[in-house]
Chains A and B, each alone.
Chain A
Amino acid sequence: MRLKKSLMISAIAITSILGLSACAGAGGGGTTPPVAEKPTFEAGTTMAKLADAGAVTIGTKFDQPLFGLKAPDGNPVGFDVEIGKLVAAALGISADKIKWVETVSANRESYIENGTVDLVVATYTINDKRKEVISFAGPYYNAGQDILVLAGNPEGIKGPEDLKGKNVCSVAGSTSEKNIAAYDVKLITTDTYSNCLEPLRSGKVIAVTTDNVILAGLADQNAGEFEVLSNPFTEEPYGIGVKHDDDAFRNFINDVLEKSYSDGSWKAAWEATAGKVLKTPEPPAVDRYTS
């Protein structure tokens, strides 16, 4: 057990060192949204409970550059984190009262269901299967498959149509590979996206394609070398996960999101984080679906 723990600590240390060196270009920062003064909520709602406690636990990714990446001080930074801060601020909770918990793709539903976290903002794609076990506020961002090219876009690529017959790199067995194959490109595949960067540098492929969030992370870690087209051709709406059928909380978060769209705080949050690499998109309309 002891050995395991020390191993764990060194593993974390190594990962954070790697993370540090990898994101040399990305400073921490972020925004400080104004915290609501003593908001009042109907008794018994999740909002009232959290506002009374004065603290909230939010699940996010700790390894996704620009969206949720753990900074040297132990707190994550990124666009998802900013969205979490906006929600907390509307509950009257300042950023330093937020407890961040790492959620990975495999444990997001269970963390929400068993109450480990109050909400999840973690590049979390809304889909029907997930809606059966949890509820989604948002979407607050529409991600999608995009294209990474050399800085300055020397080949003048505008979209996937321009890649026809050209060498394009992706990961074997990924959904992205399947999607781009429909455009008759010459696929060069490997096992991780970072392996695609060297062929892109040397001109053996003219583009790399997968989710724009991953591409943005790669571009961010290699500042000035690559650019993302910011023209996604698939749609992955990112939502905020809350407990299943907690409609009051869901509506509240949707209200917060809509307010952030209109008062510019959503845009400010984007520009402070993912906007460093990706163009600022139009915020997506929230989906107040009935389950």
Chain B
Amino acid sequence: MDAIIDVTPIYLAGFWVTLQLLVISGVGAFVVGALIATLRISPVPSLRVFATAYTEVLRNVPLLLVLMFCAFVLPILGSDLDFFPLALIGLIAYTSPFVAEAIRSGFNGVPVGQAEAARSVGMGFIQTVSLVILPQAARMVVPPLINVFIALTKNTSVAGIFFVNELFKQTNAATRDNPNAVIIVLLYAAFLYLVITVPLGLIAGAIEKRVVVMR
């Protein structure tokens, strides 16, 4: 019990950083991912090629490598950003292809007749996507997207290696200072991750219920 009280200040500090990493990179990855998914179905071949290449390269490279590139190589290339934004760049770059693929699966789930119908009444590509396909796709992509964000929550712990003081890293000092309560302080850290991920799952369930459509 003493150990839990003892490590709470550093855990809360780490929890706050983890939460910031999650929210900012989550929003960033969603924006980039949505853009990539749109490019992927765009009528311009070169954009489709770019989006495919982006997705395949980034989602097939280990996160550790992506973050290492951001933390070590970008500064060599002249970036003078702090380690926190560098980690954000890495997390966004790594997560966005997964978001893009989740969204694309939603696009593909909309019957092709819907797009043809939109065309036939004279809508352009942007209108077709934003007014017809996206509203229908959105309800289908909620569960896979929440999956991606839960994975992102846990992935933020890798940023700890690259100089960001997130939650998981605090377990190092916590186990050092409480050698007789190692398991307890580790379980405590696991619990704090659950505090983020379990509600995410519940939110996903609630949204799903609300947007479900009978077809």
Contacts and interface: CB of A to CB of B under 8 A. Distances in A.
B40 interface: no
B160 interface: yes
A204 interface: yes
A188 B72 contact: no
A172 B75 contact: no
Interface string A181-192: 000000011110
Nearest to A205: B163
B163 A173 contact: no
Nearest to B169: A172
B75 A188 contact: no
Contact of A202 (B75, B161, B171): B75
Contacts of A175: 176
Chain B interface size, under 10 / 10 to 19 / 20 to 34 / 35 or more: 10 to 19
Contacts of B71: 198
> Is chain B's interface secondary structure helix, strand, loop, or mixed overall?
helix
A198 B176 contact: no
B76 A202 contact: yes
B108 interface: no
Choose among B76, B160, B173 the residue with the greatest number of A CB atoms under 10 Å from its CB: B173
Contacts of B72: 198
A238 B47 CA distance: 64
Contacts of B188: none
For chain A, what secondary structure do more than half of its interface residues adopt (helix, strand, loop), or is it mixed?
mixed
A203 B71 CA distance: 13
B168 to A, nearest CB: 10
A199 B163 contact: yes
A169 to B, nearest CB: 8
Contact of B75 (A173, A178, A198): A198
20 contacts: A169-B163, A172-B160, A172-B172, A172-B173, A173-B172, A173-B173, A173-B176, A174-B176, A175-B176, A177-B173, A178-B176, A178-B177, A188-B163, A189-B163, A189-B169, A190-B161, A190-B162, A191-B160, A198-B75, A198-B76
Interface of A: 169, 171-175, 177-178, 188-191, 195, 198-199, 202, 204
The 8 tightest CB contacts between A and B, nearest first, are: A173-B172, A172-B172, A202-B75, A173-B176, A198-B72, A188-B163, A172-B169, A191-B161
